[in-house]
Structure 1
Amino acid sequence: MNTPITDKAGNQATPFHYGSGHFMPARAADPDLFYDANYTDYLLFLCSTGFNLDSTFLCPKHPPSPSNLNYPSLAIADLNGTVTVTRTVTNVGPSKSVYNLTTKPPTGFSVKISPTVLHFSRVQEKRNFFITVEAKSGIGQPKRGEYAFGWYVWSDGIHMVRSPIAVLSA
């Protein structure tokens, strides 16, 4: 068929409609890379959005940006400059693993991820990487208030860990 996926109204669907892909239980049992976020991470995320659901937790005066939640997907609101976030992955696959990066930046934005190769020498080893998203100027820039979508993938040649990127243009 080769036609785009559409929403209920017949408009072309976005990753907000279909997510990052189909859930495959067999692959979920063998993820290789894991994005770890603990209870405090989620509380800080909620603080950054103006909510605090735990009365025993004191939100900091300047909470981190919601984009900094250590989550596979990346969402950035109202970007008109440059944002850099950190992600941390844990190797839960073979002890000696190497993951290479592939990216497709959202239209109108550049995406730089560093490093572009993750080397692991043991199970449970953690590696940080940095994602910098910058709004381009000129032709191709989404209209103010519109989302643009892209993705990045870490692959060891067997496993593909795909993460969507959503950027709201300011």
Structure 2
Amino acid sequence: MSCPHVGGAAALLKAIHPTWSSAAIRSALMTSADPFQFGGGHFRPSKAADPGLVYDASYQDYLLFLCASGVEDLDKSFKCPKKSHSPRDLNYPSLAIPSLNSTTTVSRRLTNVGVPKSVYFASAKPPLGFSVEISPPILSFKHVGSKRTFTITVKSQSDMMGNIPRDQYVFGSYSWNDGIHNVRSPIAVKLT
């Protein structure tokens, strides 16, 4: 039953915010959810209607993701760049790292859909055995529609290596908070 419930919530959000892309709607549903054991969590449509920030992605962002994943010529009018991005840099509201050796850094871009002149502060609950650093740790938005880019660096902690199973994911999260909105993103990491 989760698919019809989420589909209905997405339709409701599209009615409330007709200019939002499907990526913005997905982001609002995921980042406003209650933490749960799996995935983004238990979604809350009333919170998703006013998420504060969204991770938006365009058609071109998905084409760049496919190029980085080795899929080319899907759209004949689009040429993959000679130097591709990492597939991990798709502007997605969660972060999954299926094989971490020691450190990885990814970038994300947030769009303000809340109030003008807002300031968000980063916090993290790192997965067991890892550190998470967000840079910059404070994002200021001057108006609705403002976009800000940040990086997330996930690093394994050598003193915790014995406690981390190498064949299983460990989970954490990071959040952006302005005192009203809490924009939470899950993190899943597996050591190689």
Contact 1:101 1:155 in 2 (8 A): yes
CA distance in 2, matches of 1:17, 1:54: 37
1:164 aligns with 2:192: no
**Which of the residues 29, 36, 49 maps onto 2:69?**
49
Identity of aligned residues (%): 58
CA distance in 1, matches of 2:152, 2:142: 23
> What is the deviation of 1:38?
0.7
Q: How many residues align?
A: 156
The structure with more helix, counted as a fraction of residues? 2
Match of 2:91 in 1: 70
Query: What letter is aligned with 1:157?
Result: G
> What is the deviation of 1:60?
3.7
> What is the deviation of 1:16?
9.8
Query: What letter is aligned with 2:102?
Result: G
**Which of the residues 134, 137, 144 maps onto 1:113?**
134
Summarize the Cα distance change of 1:27–1:154 in structure 2 as closer, same or farther, 3 Å threshold. Answer: same
> What is the deviation of 1:164?
0.5
Q: Please report the TM-score for the alignment, with normalisation by the length of structure 2.
A: 0.73
CA distance in 1, matches of 2:70, 2:57: 19
> What is the deviation of 1:18?
2.8
Cα deviation 1:104-144 (Å, max 9, x = unaligned)? 11111111001212122211111111111112214345232
Contact 1:78 1:145 in 2 (8 A): no
1:151 aligns with 2:177: no
Contact 1:144 1:169 in 2 (8 A): yes
1:22 aligns with 2:42: yes
The Cα RMSD (Å) is 2.1
Cα deviation 1:2-55 (Å, max 9, x = unaligned)? xxxxxxxxxxxxx89732122222222212101121111111212222334434
> What is the deviation of 1:89?
0.6
Q: Which contiguous aligned blocks of 4+ residues in structure 1 show a shift greater than 6 angstroms?
A: none
1:87 aligns with 2:98: no
CA distance in 1, matches of 2:145, 2:130: 33
2:179 is paired with a residue whose SS is coil
CA distance in 2, matches of 1:101, 1:133: 14
The structure with more strand, counted as a fraction of residues? 1
Q: Please report the TM-score for the alignment, with normalisation by the length of structure 1.
A: 0.81
Stretches of structure 1 that go unaligned for 5 or more consecutive residues are: 1-14
Stretches of structure 2 that go unaligned for 5 or more consecutive residues are: 1-34
Contact 2:174 2:186 in 1 (8 A): yes
